[in-house]
Amino acid sequence: MMDLTSKTILITGAARGIGASAANICSRAGATVILHASGPSDAAEKAAAGARQKMDDFLFEDFSTDGAGFRLFERALKKAGAIDGVVNNAGAFTPSPLSGDINEWNDGWTRAMSVNVQAPADICRAAIEHFRESGAGGTIINVASRAGHRGDGVENAAYAASKGAVLAMTKTWARGLASEGILLYAIAPGWVETRMAPQDIAAREAAVTEIPLGRVAQPGEVAEMIAFLLSGACPSATGATFDINGASYVR
């Protein structure tokens, strides 16, 4: 297990799936974790227990609202005093259908950009400012998607575009900030066993068929990679994107 003792890590979207697994694994590795979710839920309460915290320890912010990313980081910093790493995991899968009601199209693009791009970008900016002020550097991990590389279904362009933006901003800041000890990595999962994975039997079979490994990834697999990157074991990998997709998309 990675040693994250003395590190304080902000993890967004920590109520379930990859975020909850990352919180659990980072906590067990010795980190102090600051948990975020959009709102209270039974899943958040369970995730808090898994990270050896209480429901009251969660910071709730709806990333579809203006300024939510900045507010969250300010609250996290006030709570912890200092932050060593950020995991931008929260995201929304919003359809942007080419046919049908134009309002659904507009809503899909607006929500995808707000939740998947603007909020994590704002958190990155706030974190970078904090890392610069502390002089100690820091680590940011942005969870993107396989869709950011290869695209997605024809009705889901907004989601794919938002994840492509996450990859681009991660590379940009990694190139520009490495000399200051500020490291950024991206993770691009394919299907992961979360709420976003296909639940319909036929859709699940179709999804698995295109995965040479023969199964979707488990949240814990992604979380283990997150913990490794947070550990500082390989700073030279800054700027890299780690594909976790069972060889369904090999670059």
* Residue 249 is assigned to a structural domain of this protein: no
Total number of domains constituting the chain: 1
* Residue 250 is assigned to a structural domain of this protein: no
* Residue 1 is assigned to a structural domain of this protein: no
Give the residue numbers marked as catalytic. Answer: 159
* Residue 3 is assigned to a structural domain of this protein: no
pTM above 0.85, yes or no: yes
Quick one: tokens of 198?
């296909």
* Residue 155 is assigned to a structural domain of this protein: yes
* Residue 162 is assigned to a structural domain of this protein: yes
The residue among 101, 123, 119, 102 whose CA lies nearest residue 111 is: 119
Cα dihedral across residues 179, 241, 10, 107: positive or negative: positive
The residue among 78, 79, 86 whose CA lies nearest residue 122 is: 86
Q: Which domain holds residue 37?
A: 8-244
List the pLDDT tens digit at each of the 251 positions of the chain. 689 999 999 999 999 999 999 999 999 999 999 999 999 999 999 999 999 988 999 999 999 999 999 999 999 999 999 999 999 999 999 999 999 899 999 999 999 999 999 999 999 999 999 999 999 999 999 999 999 999 999 999 999 999 999 999 999 999 999 999 999 999 999 999 876 655 555 565 777 889 999 999 999 999 999 999 999 999 999 999 999 999 999 99
Q: Point out which residues pair with 88 in neighbouring strands.
A: 142
* Residue 251 is assigned to a structural domain of this protein: no
CATH number at residue 133: 3.40.50.720
